[in-house]
Amino acid sequence: MKYVIIGTAGHVDHGKSAIIKALTGTDTDRLKEEKIRGISIDLGFASLSLGEELTAGIVDVPGHERFLKNMLAGTGGIDLAMLVIAADEGIMPQTQEHLAMLDLYGIKQGVVVINKIDKVDGEWLELVESEIREYISNTFLQHAPLCRVSAVSGAGINELRHTLANVAGKLPARDSKAPFRLWIDRAFTIKGYGVVVTGSVLSGQVRIGDSLKLYPSGTIVRVRGLEWHGGKMTEIIAGQRAAINLAGVELAEVARGMALSAVERGEISPIWDVLADWRQDVDSGVRVRLHLGTGEFLGRMYSYKETSNKHMRLILEQPLAAGVGDRGIIRLYSPQHLLGGVILTAPGRATRRLTHERAALADAVVNRDVENIIFHRMNESRKLLVLEDIRRQTGYLPEKEVDRVIEKMVAAKKLYCLENHYIPTGVFDQLTKQLTNMLKEYHKMQPDRGGLAKEVARQKMGLDDKSFEIMLTEWQKSAVLTVTGGDLALKSHAERHGGWKQDIAAKAEAALDDIGLINIDPALLAQKLSLPPAKAKAAHDSLVRAGMLIKVSDMFVYRKTIQYIVQLIHRHFKENSTLTVAELRDLLNTSRKVALPVIEYLDMHKYTIRDGDVRRPAQKILDLSE
């Protein structure tokens, strides 16, 4: 069974709801006010069988200009448009506006219906049809079939049903293998069941028990029950209308304009870059209404520096959860005139200039070029991404299609794969060159230092911790650099510096052998090793990293001195059960000022345990041998 969504369009009182009732037997005007006034105010829904293997869900939209917001809420997810024009009035303002909006939404197929043929004579009908054909000649409906009907008498209804079946039958089925997505058009509660939402399933499928993400809140909800036009279902697929009973959310947390999505898909941001199709001139900074999915979102449109208004930035007053390639309608905030349409390319970045990557990305989105969508988004990110991140950046494209393209890009060496993370080859090569040049410059400026601190290098390169660590592993494997402790160095420098460090360590062993418990700072080291001040600082850092000099509070103490102190208190505890600061001071023949940080060092390294004002031996000191 194939399912399609048909959306009505047309001026108020041209008979859209009446035609649906004639086709399906369903009165889509469900509100009391609609029945009193005789016009549609909100969205209505009906099901239409078009054959054994084809069923349509019909979304009936209001035609009055005051309810244009509701009309747009029902139009964004349709497959086929049914433009209704009354024979006695012809093309009217909302006919024109609805047709323009359908075009901006990217709708490609439709049927034109001339209703109320019972109210005019044949000559007038011919004139109206001629006017209509001329008007639609430059729109997506230029080759659309045109049906003459009377919803009141039933004339032409069977022919209309046949035409709808013929056009809908040629449409490609929506992809039920793609990630699930539904824009919510109604939300209510049913006693004993809880929250129920309805909408058209744009892609994917959902089963009872599945978990979904409610956007923009990000709440994870569970599917308790499913219905399709009043019938209970265990599964709903793309193209069907759905009523979904949700667990894990309250009615106050759900509203029209929100979306249900596969948990791992969708991006959310208040700032989106868009490709615009304007129907009139637009000033940068203008306040607008974005109609996307079933929602209306307020914000402002801004131009990039030194570009036309084709590429613009949309800054909204609330976060918008959407996907790459989503289409929306832009209306002026007030008065609510149609300005044009937009295609979302990606969440905005921290720049006011249109980059080459962002312009190329927009072209790829318009052309549905999956490989270049992936490539340009990854080029911008300059970091490693896992498959889930890449899939999210492609919107709601099928997982298998995205994965197949990634495999192709890896095989063509457009992407590197490092520990199940991906990065464009060009970006990885640029980062390798950036780090190599950074280290060359550092070694030139600091020839006596072992290397540049890893954290300093990471921050200068603007990389996250995980990406940097994975890339470091690859750079080490390919002998680009070496990592010693927390420092990075080019291999050639590390080899030269290794010999220098060994030489310094040997000299320090000889010079510091009987140094005692004093602070060994760079000045003292310069004196002991006969080094100039600059080299003494580098030598001091090297000895600290090597563990030859140990930091005790604000002092640096020779390693063998610490070892001597540990043996001293080991012997003390053989004859005493406790140790005080004063006793340690006397044992070391030093001052309380020096003894206090030493005893705190012993506590910290688990040689002693503090018990009030005294120390007791820890197991580590008891286990020492002479």
* Residue 176, domain member (yes or no): no
> Tokens at residue 617, please?
């031996």
Domain of residue 215, CATH code: 2.40.30.10
Domain shared by 120 and 142, yes or no: yes
| 318 and 396 both lie in a single domain | yes
**DSSP symbol at 210:** -
Structure tokens at 217: 């809140």
Question: Does residue 175 lie within any of the structural domains?
Answer: no
Structure tokens at 122: 């044949």
Contact in structure between 328 and 299 (CB atoms under 8 Å):
no
- Name the strand (E) or helix (H) holding 18: helix 16-24
Q: Which two tokens stand for residue 395?
A: 């919107």
Q: What's the maximum distance between 2 C-alpha atoms anywhere in the chain?
A: 124
The answer to whether 345 and 275 have CB atoms below 8 angstroms apart is yes
Higher pLDDT pick, 47 / 615 = 615
DSSP notation for 339-408: EEEEEEEEE--S-SB--HHHHHHHHHHHTT-HHHHHHHHHHHH-S-B-HHHHHHHTTT--HHHHHHHHHH
The mean pLDDT of 113-130, rounded to a whole number, is: 94
- 361: amino acid identity, one letter: L
Residue 370 tokens read as 């999956």
Question: Is 93 a domain residue?
Answer: yes
Say if CB 423 and CB 416 are below 8 A apart: yes
Q: What does the H/E/C string look like for 72-93?
A: HHHHCCCCEEEEEEECCCCCCH
Please give the Cα distance from 623 to 426 (Å, whole number).
56
Judge whether residue 436 has pLDDT over 50: yes
pLDDT score for 35: 43
**Model pLDDT, residue 64:** 46
Query: Does residue 314 form part of some domain?
Result: yes
Q: Looking at residue 502, what is its pLDDT?
A: 65
Phi, psi of 114 (to 5 degrees): -95, 115
pLDDT attached to residue 28 = 66
- Whether residue 105 contacts residue 329, with contact meaning beta carbons closer than 8 Å, is answered with yes
How many domains does one find in the chain?
5
| Rounded distance between C-alpha atoms, residue 68 and residue 220, angstroms | 32
592/580 Cα distance (integer angstroms): 11
User: At a CB cut-off of 8 Å and minimum separation 6, what does 610 contact?
Assistant: 603
Q: What is the pLDDT of residue 216?
A: 93
Half-sphere exposure of 578 (CA within 13 A, CB side): 9
pLDDT reading at 612 higher than 80 = yes
Please check whether residues 366 and 507 belong to one and the same domain.
no
- Which whole-number Å values give the CA distances from 616 to 571, 574, 576, 610, 623, in the listed order? 13, 11, 9, 6, 14
Q: In the structure, what pLDDT confidence band is assigned to residue 501 with cuts at 50, 70 and 90?
A: low
Instruction: Answer for the pair 262, 395: CB distance below 8 angstroms, yes or no.
Output: no
Inform me whether the pLDDT recorded for 36 exceeds 60: no
The vertex-365 CA angle with 471 and 383, nearest 5°, equals 10
Any idea which residue has 């505890």 for tokens? 573
pLDDT band at 38; cut points 50, 70, 90: very low
Displacement of CA 431 from its chain's centroid (Å): 24
Closest CA to 295 of 274, 318, 315: 318
Q: What is the pLDDT of residue 444?
A: 84
- Average pLDDT over all residues of the chain: 89
Give Cα 228 to chain centroid, integer Å.
31
Buried b (16+ CB within 10 A) or exposed e, 430-468: ebbeebeebbeebbeebebbbbbebeebbeebebeeebb
Q: Which residue has the higher pLDDT, 599 or 510?
A: 599
Strands (E), 279-325: 286-292, 295-303, 311-322
Same domain, 373 and 440: no
Q: Residue 235 corresponds to which tokens in the numbers above?
A: 């599964």
Q: Which of 170, 203, 233 is the last residue of a domain?
A: 170
Average pLDDT over residues 547-562: 92
pLDDT at residue 209 in the model:
96
Same structural domain for residues 85 and 204?
Answer: no
Are the C-beta atoms of residues 122 and 128 closer than 8 Å to each other? Answer: no
Comparing 307-321, 496-510, 587-601, which segment has the lowest mean pLDDT?
496-510
CATH of the domain at 125: 3.40.50.300
Handedness of CA 227, 228, 230, 235 (dihedral sign): negative
What CA–CA distance (Å, rounded) separates 337 from 315?
19
CB count in 10 Å sphere of residue 264: 13
Report d(CA 423, CA 185) in Å as an integer.
Answer: 39
Please say if the pLDDT value at position 175 is more than 50. Answer: yes
pLDDT at 252 over 90: yes
Whether residue 364 lies inside any domain: the answer is: yes
The reply to whether 449 and 556 lie within a common domain is: no
| pLDDT given for residue 74 in this prediction | 55
Q: Tell me: the pLDDT tens digits for 280-299?
A: 989 999 999 999 988 999 99
User: Is residue 432 pLDDT above 90, yes or no?
Assistant: yes
**DSSP β-bridge partners for residue 453:** 487
Q: Is the pTM of this model over 0.85?
A: no
Window from 53-57, 147-151, 442-446, 524-528 with minimum mean pLDDT: 442-446
pLDDT digits (tens, 9 = 90+) for 572-581: 999 999 999 9
- Distance from C-alpha of 345 to C-alpha of 364, rounded to nearest angstrom: 9
Nearest to 407 by CA among 417, 393, 394, 397: 417
Same domain, residue pair 563 and 540: yes
* Residue in 184, 229, 182 with CA at minimum distance from that of residue 47: 229
Instruction: List the domain range (segments joined by +) for residue 623.
Output: 514-626
pLDDT of residue 94: 86
Backbone angles phi, psi at 141, to 5 degrees: -95, 10
Q: Which two tokens stand for residue 19?
A: 């035609």
Beta strands (DSSP E) in 50-145 are: 54-60, 80-86, 110-115
pLDDT category, 39, cuts 50, 70, 90?
very low
Q: Are residues 115 and 206 in the same domain?
A: no
Same domain, 594 and 606: yes
Residues 138 and 144: their CA atoms lie apart, in Å, by 12
Close Cβ partners of 442 (under 8 Å, ≥ 6 residues apart): 449, 451, 452
| Residue 551 pLDDT exceeds 60 | yes
Per-residue confidence band for 535, with pLDDT thresholds at 50, 70 and 90: confident
How many residues are there in the chain? 626
Last residue of a domain, one of 194, 227, 261: 261
pLDDT at 504 (0 to 100): 74
Contact status, residue 288 vs residue 300, Cβ threshold 8 Å: yes
Rounded to the nearest 10°, the torsion over CA 455, 459, 461, 463 is 90
Both 320 and 366 in one domain: the answer is yes
SS3 call for 150:
coil
| More confident call, 413 vs 624 | 413
Cβ neighbours of residue 554 closer than 8 Å, sequence gap 6 or more = 519, 597
Residue 405 sits in the same domain as residue 425: no
pLDDT tens digits, residue range 59-111? 887 644 554 556 566 566 788 999 999 999 999 988 998 898 889 888 999 99
Whether pLDDT at 34 is above 50 = no
Distance CA 199, CA 238 (A): 11
What percent of the chain is predicted at pLDDT more than 70? 93
What CATH number has the domain bearing residue 554?
1.10.10.10
pLDDT(223) > 80: yes
Write down which residue in 482, 511, 540 finishes a domain.
511
Query: Other C-beta atoms within 10 Å of 193: how many?
Result: 12
Q: How many CB atoms lie within 10 A of CB 396?
A: 23
Q: What is the mean pLDDT of residues 491-512?
A: 72
Residues 197 and 143 in one domain: no
